[in-house]
Structure 1
Amino acid sequence: MSTTNASAKTVLAAQTSNSDAQRPERAVEHEPSARAACPECEGQVVTEDEQSFCTDCGLVVAAEWVDRSPTLTDLGMIGNAEQSIETVDPLRTDKGLHTKIGRNTDGHGNPLSDEQWETVQRLRKWHKRMQFGRQRKRTKRLNEGLRDVEMIGGNLGLPEHVIRQAARFLRRASEARLPGGRMAWEALAGGAVLLAVRASSVDREKIDVAVARYTKAPHERVCAAGRKIRCKCGVDAPAIRPEAVMAVIEALDDDAMPGARAVRTWLLAHHLLALGDAVPVGPGTPRSTVAGASVYAADRLLSEKHLTQSQVATAASAVVETSQNRIARYSRELVDAYEAEHGTTEPGVGVEHARDTLR
């Protein structure tokens, strides 16, 4: 275990002394913290403009903070106290708290002999077995997913704090048992990066396409994975496609609906999509597909039906490939969710609710 503490966790005080104020200011960039409570007063920690601070005492909290838990010396164990304070890395399955075994050199950088190399190989094999623990197979898949997150973030040139936030999202997906079936680890890694970018101040223009380009999964599955993490894990991140309903309506033929009808359909579909995210309806489905189902369900709830499943599926497929079967299935689920929420299928309730939300 390394004794260097260059990257030890630090808590930055919000107030500085007068002598510090006289020194020339120097721009220092700190990663925002993922902590919800202040380490000093247990107040609420919020993040604004890539900086986290306590709303009660004003303490500025960085991603790397001082671990005040008992050291090895405090516990009466043999060892150096500094060795118990290592950087916690969310990109590693064991959070980085382990000894790193080199491949071709020893701790001083000297090349290994053949006998030493064989010994190191055996140590590395047993080290990996202990590192992954009892759930070895699932932990190995999580490790591969974290490597995918790191690779995607590196190819996109994302800031370190965004990559680490994506790793936290992927861990939450693993704890919620989201991987499995058609929801692969590769897609979840791309979806986690997508959500982390949406939750940050990074330029989001065309980021979903860029993430899919470096993900080992199709674009449709990446969008579906991002929505599933957001809906199932309660991730506080903006929707990946906030204007999904409008995109579907704009893709329809000009003569599909009159102007006034299109506005009411858009408002009701916007409300239905919000319900679909909250229930959720089709969490493992891209949001554009559910948006298409919302448009069709809104047209069914309103009087004088104008749209067909084929028209809506074609319009939604302009963004993500969508089938009529999905439109039919999710539209029924959305209508059921609407009735369960409001106790009626009267469309005016959802239209007024959407107007109040969009004001």
Structure 2
Amino acid sequence: MAPDQTVSSRSTRDASHQSQSPLSCPECSGKLVTANRETRCQECGLIVDENQLDRGPEWIASDEDSSRRRTGAPLTAGRHDRGLSTEIGWSRDGYGNTLPAWKRRQLNRLRREHRRSQWRSKRERNLAYGLGEVRRLVSALGVSESLREQACTLFRQAQNEDLCQGRSLEGIAAASVYAICRCNGLGRTLDEIGQVANCSRAQLECAYSAMNTELNLPTAVPRPQNVLPRLVTDLGVPNDIQHRALKLAALAEDIGITTGNQPHGFAAACLYRAGQELGCLITQQELAAVANTSTKTIRKHRDALLDLLDEQEGGQ
């Protein structure tokens, strides 16, 4: 074989090897898995690539510069561009010095043009508006940052599935926050979210129904145990009453009397009964106001708890 043909066949083999290695193992054509900065084969264990470069931000401060400002802000799902947009300052520079009048006028013009060119399409502008509404709702409800990121990701998923067409963006944003609260077992009701949302209750319910159906959300069944911590915090009752109320709620759930009942009303009844047993007077009006229910509902669930406790004492 001629030398040029040998070189040509070798380069062809190397090119095919390079094109095959990112997809499958070059030895056994097995599946490749990347973990701990190395790529290995699941079948034969061959290490195809190792010591990969970590192109993320360096959070360790150097000897020359003790600050970490050079790394920039981390990526976030709460903004339409993942947080990579440019923010133009107002009246002070990076050192805190006041800018002259001509520089402020120039920044105003730059800020106006930057705002006009910030979104490349109407879809991206709607995404930015919806994510801003999600952040506002999360801040008003006092939800954690991790749930905020989940709600923003869910809003992105809803827009990718074209669920925003024909529906209110405010309703989709409020439904995203409510769905994340439901999926994580937080005791947030539609009434609480509807009070801070810029949409009607009907728009919120319609958006949540569409998202729950189309996106197959892993929503958990509402439980009184998930509502009790918030009621205890709002009322400021001792921890022993909370523990007793949790036991009563778990006992009622095991028997099955919580099925078909609103979790807030039953949680208020458990807390009311626990306060009576431990000598802490909690009025039904206070519980009804905090749990957003009626005193009649609390008395109804209280009677069911009393019947359950009487049956247990009679069985023993």
Higher RCO (C-alpha 8 Å, min separation 6): 1
Give the TM-score category using the shorter length: 0.3 to 0.5
Relative to its length, the structure with more helix (as a share) is 2
Using structure 2 for the length normalisation, give the TM-score: 0.47
